[in-house]
Amino acid sequence: MDSGVEELMPRLLPVGDCDLAEDFDPTVPPRTPQEYLKRVQIEAARCPDVVVAQIDPRKLKKKQTVNISISGCQPAPEGYSPTLKWQQQQVANFSAVRQSLNKHRNHWRSQHLDSNVAMPKSEDEEGWKKFCLGERVYSETDALSDNENLGIDYMKVGFPPLLSIVSRMNQATVTSVLEYLISWFGEKKFTPELGRWLYALLACLEKPLLPEAHSLIRQLARRCSEVRVLEESKNEEQISALNLIICLVSRYFDQRDLADEPS
């Protein structure tokens, strides 16, 4: 290293002149402290000034952009803002559901799943979307054929969030599936299948929330507020479902800045 560099980067382990054996070999393990420090200096001098990482672009996710918003939820349409009493009741009901789920988790986890239930792997985003929403919603087909009306084909209509299913999901899977469905919801309409799964996954989230889960549920509440404003038909049942999710995120998970203020 030249003197100019040494002035900017002083040596943390300076090695002065020392008597090293004539047969000193830096490739063999050092035998004395002086030989060790000298070997460190030699290895440092061989390091290049600039190192470029070799990145395989195939391993990068397609979506790298992260949109962060600090704004709150949009107000409910006039006449559809939930009362404080209603919100408090929903929080109480939700808390009871969570307590029951935690109490009986081991029991439901031990129950055998039907042979047609094949839970996707945690990282299988498309598989989970089809599993939860069904191929009919996923492919956006409008109706079932006459033959399909004779029985329930869960591959087409989606598997409901049965306790025997959600009890088998660890926190990493719960967060991943929540992320997949929120991503779907960001571009698609709200459906009953989506609402049931969002409620179930929120019931499975452990507190205190991990930072990733915290960001996800805030994103979910904001999206619900956007959809209910754009709801042209003002479907009361759908707006109530959207109000419920916003209520749970804001009042149960303590995101009070997103809460609906009673009119």
Two structure tokens written together for 109: 């986890």
Res. 47 pLDDT band, cuts 50 70 90 = confident
**Tens digit of pLDDT for each residue in 172-215?**
999 999 999 999 999 998 999 999 999 999 999 999 999 999 99
Question: Do residues 225 and 69 touch, judged by C-beta distance below 8 A?
Answer: no
Percent of the chain with pLDDT over 70: 79
Instruction: Return the CATH class of domain 84-117+164-258.
Output: mainly alpha
Angle of helix 211-230 versus helix 236-247 axis, rounded to 10? 160
Using alpha carbons only, give the angle 137, 140, 145 rounded to the nearest 5 degrees: 80
| Nearest residue to 248 (alpha-carbon basis) of 80, 96, 66, 68 | 96
d(CA 104, CA 208): 21
User: Which residue type does 76 have?
Assistant: A
Res. 147 pLDDT band, cuts 50 70 90 = very low
**Tens digit of pLDDT for each residue in 230-261?**
877 778 899 999 999 999 999 999 999 999 98
Domain ranges of the chain: 84-117+164-258
Res. 151 pLDDT band, cuts 50 70 90 = low
The contacts of residue 97 (CB under 8 Å, 6+ apart) are 203
Res. 22 pLDDT band, cuts 50 70 90 = low
Q: Residue 194 CB: number of other CB atoms within 10 A?
A: 21
Which residue carries 């109706």 as its tokens? 143
Res. 1 pLDDT band, cuts 50 70 90 = very low
The contacts of residue 135 (CB under 8 Å, 6+ apart) are 141, 155, 156
Give the HSE-up count for residue 237: Cα atoms under 13 Å, Cβ half-sphere: 3
Two structure tokens written together for 17: 């002149």
What single-letter DSSP state applies at residue 257?
G
